[in-house]
Amino acid sequence: MNSDKILKNVLFTASLLILLISGGMILALVRGSMLSFHQFGWDFITSSKWDPTQGREQYGALLFICGTLFTSILALVIALPMAFSTSLFVAEYFNNTRMASIVSTLVDLLAGIPSIIYGLWGFYILRPFIVSIGLSPQGYGIFTSGLILAIMIIPYATSLSSATIKMVPNELKEAAYSLGATRLEVIWNVILPNARSGIAASYILAFGRALGETLAVTMLIGNANIIPTGLFSTGNSMASVIANQFGEANGLQLSSLIEIGLLLFVITTLINAVGKFIIKKMA
Amino acid sequence: MELANNFTANNRTLLMQDHSVRRKVKDRVFLGAVIFFALITISFVFLIIGSCVLKGYHQINWAFFTQSAPDTFTAMMAKSSGQVIPGGIVNGITGSLYLVGLASLIAIPFGVLIGIYLYENSKKRYAGVIRDITDVLQGVPSIVVGLIVYLWVVVNVTHGYSVLAGSVALSLMMLPLIIRSTEESMKMIPDTLKEAAIALGTPYYKVIFRVLIPTSFSGLMTGILLAVSRILGETAPLMLTTLGNPAINWNVVKPVSAVPLLVWQFYNDPNMVDLIWSSTLFLMGFVLILNLLAKWIAARRNA
């Protein structure tokens, strides 16, 4: 066998690793959650009772699913104007200027800061601030974690949006300008219609990020096992409950935590697949 | 009649003027809003970095880099007598280097190989599937990666929390990033360069090692540095795989500490509050410097 053939086989074998990893991931999660699934069946998703007391163990994931969705949706709503403005700033108003490269470097740094540092900053700086302006007595809850998540996902939403905004052909913009359109009208009538699928995909992918964030949320959501009732209500999220209870869990509780992990895996994968699908169709 | 016509015409120009003023004002207001929100966004960078520096710098001293983390009691005594908490995070620093080093050893070779495979077979359906799965892997939440590696390695291989489990978890997070950056940076190589080498009768493995990898080296480096800077700060998967260790450990099947794990541990211990910020400062400084270095390499390549 000549060296080219060997190389081809080596590369192909390496690519099999990806299949192996993904298969192994699904298998491990499914096998790990079997115990819980046999016990609770589909009720696991619709029940919000989480009681680890020995003898009357009862687990349901609804309240965690709600907590994860509420914080992530809030994060998306808060991040939307920020990311949209920043991407217009970088890719349209100040495109190719020094100013734009400084701003985009700073936004990228925001993406580089580890999750636990966001959590600490939220806990020691943001939470006392929220208490001091009287929004909530303790400062924990959906709002605080949503706000921190928003800051965390802004860079993800911004970078892809700016890339698509930059791709809008100059001829189209110039045609609109030559008809006397203002900058805002060009953005609204030319850039947005052309870049909307990329912008939408960037928010969907950012949303997927927010769903899986763990420690920043764990430190701020309040870790109360209730379905959140309002913006300043405490709650718990899927990733947080795994992080908090994993250490002392075994048996049925461990299996239920793994099932929550499986659900989180499925939800984030679906969201990401939708985002990537939109990008693919665009290209 | 003429008068009436005149009147409407005048009125129309007036209206149009009014309209164009409104359009201009709207345009200005929108620009103002864009700048305002963009400034808010970047202000968070300064707020976060600033508070870490201000709160953390006074704990950074020699011992911080040479001693292991103190126990709660020592920290409490130091705190109650108003002194700087003794000890440092050397167990975390060595642990982080160990974990990240081992993870890179696993992820970089495989990542580069798979990246080259995707580059070479970019049109094949199978390669498309591998690419899509890689994207999915990149989106898996870090805590879920932790759970999976717990089930794989902690339960089945090392029968306890271990360096190995932690590095496998981190390498799973690195792998997709490296695959994609390898493929992207190879795509930028002009085909003529490759063809010239092949025309000389060079065996393909030599083309890879002598042409493809050297030409795309700065791109590969950027990808690797970004991947390392991302996993350096990962905490959640380590909580489920290596747990932490109060002492320095080099045994691959035993638990080890890491800087982000220590930050989490300090956060949960009211006596250690002062150490949180210095560890955070150290971690953030390290991560951001790697980030900027990666950016710098990428920018130099494009220039």
Residue B11 pLDDT exceeds 60: no
State the pTM of this model.
0.92
Count other C-beta atoms under 10 Å from residue A108's C-beta: 18
Q: pLDDT tens digits, residue range B240-272?
A: 999 888 889 999 999 999 999 999 999 988 888
Helix, coil or strand: residue A50: strand
Q: What is the dihedral of CA A249, A46, A69, A212, to 10 degrees?
A: 30
- pLDDT, position B109: 96
Q: pLDDT tens digits, residue range B38-92?
A: 999 999 999 999 999 998 888 788 888 888 888 878 778 877 777 777 778 999 9
Whether B203 sits inside 8 A of A4 (CB atoms) is yes
Chain centroid to Cα B194, Å, comes to 32
User: Domain for residue A258, yes or no?
Assistant: yes
Candidates 1.10.10.10, 1.10.3720.10, 3.40.50.300, 1.20.120.1630; CATH matching B90-302:
1.10.3720.10
Among the listed residues A260, A263, A255, the one whose alpha carbon sits nearest the alpha carbon of residue A240: A260
Residue B1 pLDDT exceeds 70: no
Residues of chain A contacting B133 with CB distance shorter than 8 Å: 18-19, 22
Per cent of chain A over pLDDT 70 is 99
Residue A213 backbone zone (phi > 0: left; psi -120 to 50: alpha; other: beta): beta
Strand partners, A50: A59
- pLDDT, position B260: 95
Helix, coil or strand: residue A52: coil
Residues of chain B contacting A127 with CB distance shorter than 8 Å: none
Alpha-carbon torsion (A148, A153, A155, A161), positive or negative: negative
- pLDDT, position B298: 86
Hey, which residues 55-114 in chain A have their CB within 8 Å of chain B? 81-86, 88-90, 93, 103, 105-110, 112-114
Among the listed residues B224, B273, B140, B266, the one whose alpha carbon sits nearest the alpha carbon of residue A214: B140
pLDDT tens for each residue of chain A, 283 residues long: 688 889 999 999 999 999 999 999 999 999 999 999 999 999 999 998 898 888 888 999 999 999 999 999 999 999 999 999 999 999 999 999 999 999 999 999 999 999 999 999 999 999 999 999 988 888 999 999 999 999 999 999 999 999 999 999 999 999 999 998 999 999 999 999 999 999 999 999 999 999 999 999 999 999 899 999 989 999 999 999 999 999 888 889 999 999 999 999 999 999 999 999 998 888 6
- pLDDT, position B221: 94
Q: Which two tokens stand for residue B286?
A: 């390290």
User: Tell me, what DSSP letter sits at residue B69?
Assistant: P
Q: What is the CATH number of the domain that holds A128?
A: 1.10.3720.10
| Alpha carbon of A157: minimum distance to chain B alpha carbons (Å) | 12
Question: In Å, what is the CA distance from A198 to each residue of A270, B51, B140?
Answer: 18, 35, 21
Nearest CB partner across the interface for B117, out of A14, A25, A112: A14
Q: pLDDT tens digits, residue range B139-153?
A: 999 999 999 999 999
Q: How far apart are CA B261 and CA A243, in angstroms?
A: 12
Q: pLDDT tens digits, residue range B170-206?
A: 999 999 999 999 999 999 999 899 899 989 988 888 8
Structural domains in chain A (count)? 1
Among the listed residues B259, B253, B240, the one whose alpha carbon sits nearest the alpha carbon of residue B144: B240
Mean pLDDT of chain A: 93
ipTM of the shown complex: 0.94
Count other C-beta atoms under 10 Å from residue A51's C-beta: 11
Mean pLDDT of chain B: 89
Q: Which two tokens stand for residue B11?
A: 């009125």
- pLDDT, position A113: 94
Q: How far apart are CA B40 and CA B286, in angstroms?
A: 25
Helix (H) / strand (E) containing B259: helix B259-267
User: Domain for residue A52, yes or no?
Assistant: no
Q: Which residue of B has its CA nearest to A111?
A: B230
- CB-based contact (8 Å) between A255 and chain B? no
Whether A215 sits inside 8 A of B264 (CB atoms) is yes
Highest mean pLDDT among B135-144, B204-213, B268-277 belongs to: B135-144
Burial A7-29 (b: 16+ CB within 10 A, else e): bbeebeebbeebeebbeebeebb
User: Domain for residue A39, yes or no?
Assistant: no
Q: To probe the interface with A, which of B37, B240, B282 has the most A CB atoms within 10 Å?
A: B37
The domain in which residue A278 lies consists of 58-282
Hey, which residues 7-46 in chain A have their CB within 8 Å of chain B? 7-8, 10-12, 14-15, 17-19, 21-22, 24-25, 28-29, 31-32
Q: How far apart are CA A122 and CA A218, in angstroms?
A: 11
Q: Which two tokens stand for residue B180?
A: 């994609």
Residue B273 pLDDT exceeds 90: no
